[in-house]
Structure 1
Amino acid sequence: MPPGNIGSLFWEAIGNTLFFTVVTVIFETVIGVWMAIIMNRNFRGRALVRAAILVPWAIPTAVTAKLWYFIFDYNGILNHVLGTQIIWTSGEWSSRFAIVIADTWKTTPFMALLILAGLQLIPEEVYEAASMDGASTVQRFFRITLPLVKPALMVAVLFRVLDALRMYDLPAILTGGGGGTGNATTTLSILVVSQIRQGFNSASALSTITFLLVFLVAFLFVRFLGANVVQTQAAQQKGELK
């Protein structure tokens, strides 16, 4: 990468990083809540289901990337099942969505585990009282489950956002940080490592910017969403004392 292109490469990497962060976290949060609600129910084999769901998260990222590399290969399983001939890891948007799918598969169990911990703290009596009052399933979810699980949900989202902002292994192995014109899946971390390997002085500045971005996001979560978490927990404790 020539030094003269570092400005355009930086903004492209910023855009890719934010795109992966926003899209993957949204998917993982929605699916994670759904999975947590299912795992929180009483049914035969629940322990086995919980253990099986955690398998993708336990697999190292490099192994996950290689697994999905073969799935997304031109002659891979996905094209065979869909009957298509898409070069998933080379196209601009196909390579991006390949990373989104792979990351969602790997880290959604992490979200589900943290959200499940929050669901298990909600007393069953609250749902029973709501049912007696005639509240529907949807009403119970938005008026009881979502507000009471918010502390655990915010922690899960914070961890995943910070992790996604530092994404390196998955796109580096799955697409080589390329795709499209060659930079469609280049994240900030990939750009930093690339500049370090080429001996450019911009690597130090890029590393600092990456750190400041992660720190800013963490500060905003803790400063604003963290205050709401404390208030929610305090309100719950007051409700239990009454």
Structure 2
Amino acid sequence: MSTVLSLRSRSRAGSSPEEPGRGRRPGRTGDGRLAFWLVVPSLVVLGIVIAYPVLQGIGRSFFGDTIGETPAFVGIDNYARALWGPDSTEFWASFKVTWFFTITTVVLETVIGMAMALFMNQAFRARGLMRASVLVPWAIPTAVAAVLWRWAFDPRGIINHLFGTSVTWTGSEWPSKLAIVFADTWKTAPFVALLILAGLQIIPDEVYEAAAMDGAGPVKRFMYITLPLVRPSLLVAILFRMLDALRMYDLPAIFTGGANDTTTLSILVVRASLGNLEAGYGGALSTLTFLMIFAAAYLFVRLLGANVTGSDKEA
């Protein structure tokens, strides 16, 4: 008996930490290195295409815009000009317009996208065709969609013909804003719908069946089952759309060229950099726009807890 116990103790003492279920998995370090080197080319390309222009724009924002001479260092003068200087009125007006378009379009697209997702989540014939067809508006390039809707909102276009009106949609402030909001909602609501649909499909049918057996009606099932369980996908969809809307350029630029109080911050940046050849002031405007978008995304994630990485937080 003592011999058997001795052999067992020796086998336990000599057991390798690399047994299944213990220690580090074999080959994991190699997989991590392979993954790193596969990602390196993409990081290099992103650094060249994105990081370098961003850093160059930030650096250029601290210099003046004298044409034909070496730019002189002016410190924060370009930022002061935008925030509280002679061009502050234009900057803050564009700031308000940008947030008006962002809040309006994101709210409409979320409501419409939720309704579309709930409908596409039902079992019916040709459901796959329906899901594919709703992506058509989102797949159309924004510039092309803007031109199409500008034709539709022409005083002699189909919109006035259908409703029997004679509104000059791009000739005054609120008709122009309504036309831009409508075109952006039409284009992007399907994208939001598919993101929400992905969250709806992971909710087990048994949960709804149990709730129905307990007497919960459609409204209660939506409020107490659908919304809480689809919340991660919903918040990610809202975050993506908010970041995209804060950079809105194509639609107002093509619809009105920024006239009729539809100038967004992106239009202001392009106008200063390319139209007025003020690279320093344009760099300051683009940096302020970047900081605004970053702050909005950070506050959204911190306050609402949007899980954009897919990692679960431990309590």
TM-score (norm 2): 0.69
Whether 1:33 and 2:117 are equivalent positions in the alignment is: no
Q: Report deviation, 1:227.
A: 6.4
Alpha-carbon distance in 1 for matches of 2:293, 2:284:
14
Give the equivalent residue in structure 1 for 2:228: 147
Q: Report deviation, 1:224.
A: 2.6
Q: Report deviation, 1:226.
A: 2.5
Whether 1:191 and 2:272 are equivalent positions in the alignment is: no
Pick from 154, 171, 176 the counterpart of residue 73 of structure 1.
154
Where do residues 4-153 of structure 1 align in structure 2 (5 Å cutoff)? 6-153=87-234
Q: How many residues align?
A: 229
Per-residue Cα deviation, 1:149-204 (whole angstroms, up to 9, x for no partner): 0000000000000000000011111221112xxxx110000000000120233212
Contact 2:208/2:221, CA 8 A, preserved across alignment: yes
TM-score (norm 1): 0.90
Alpha-carbon distance in 1 for matches of 2:103, 2:244:
12
Structure 2: which amino acid aligns with 1:56? P
Contact 2:232/2:306, CA 8 A, preserved across alignment: no
Pick from 283, 290, 305 the counterpart of residue 226 of structure 1.
305
Q: 1:168 to 1:95 in 2, by over 3 A?
A: same
Per-residue Cα deviation, 1:8-50 (whole angstroms, up to 9, x for no partner): 1101100100000000000000000000000000001111111
Alpha-carbon distance in 2 for matches of 1:113, 1:6:
41
Output the aligned Cα RMSD.
2.1
Structure 1: which amino acid aligns with 2:193? A
For 1:89, what is the secondary structure of its paired residue? coil
Larger CA Rg, structure 1 vs 2: 2
Runs ≥4 residues deviating over 3 A: 227-230, 232-235
Contact 1:150/1:229, CA 8 A, preserved across alignment: no
Q: Report deviation, 1:7.
A: 1.4
Q: Report deviation, 1:234.
A: 7.0
* Structure 1 portions without partners, runs of 5+: 236-242
Contact 1:65/1:170, CA 8 A, preserved across alignment: yes
Where do residues 170-209 of structure 1 align in structure 2 (5 Å cutoff)? 170-179=251-260, 184-197=261-274, 198-200=276-278, 201-209=280-288
Alpha-carbon distance in 1 for matches of 2:139, 2:307:
31
Q: Report deviation, 1:228.
A: 7.6
Per-residue Cα deviation, 1:26-83 (whole angstroms, up to 9, x for no partner): 0000000000000000001111111111100000000000010001001000011111
Structure 1: which amino acid aligns with 2:154? D
Contact 2:110/2:189, CA 8 A, preserved across alignment: yes
Alpha-carbon distance in 2 for matches of 1:90, 1:208:
31
Pick from 238, 241, 247 the counterpart of residue 166 of structure 1.
247
* Structure 2 portions without partners, runs of 5+: 1-81
Alpha-carbon distance in 2 for matches of 1:130, 1:192:
53
Contact 2:243/2:293, CA 8 A, preserved across alignment: yes
Contact 1:151/1:233, CA 8 A, preserved across alignment: no
Contact 1:192/1:206, CA 8 A, preserved across alignment: yes
Structure 2: which amino acid aligns with 1:174? F
For 2:259, what is the secondary structure of its paired residue? coil
Give the equivalent residue in structure 2 for 1:239: none
Alpha-carbon distance in 2 for matches of 1:191, 1:101:
22
Identity level (%): 61
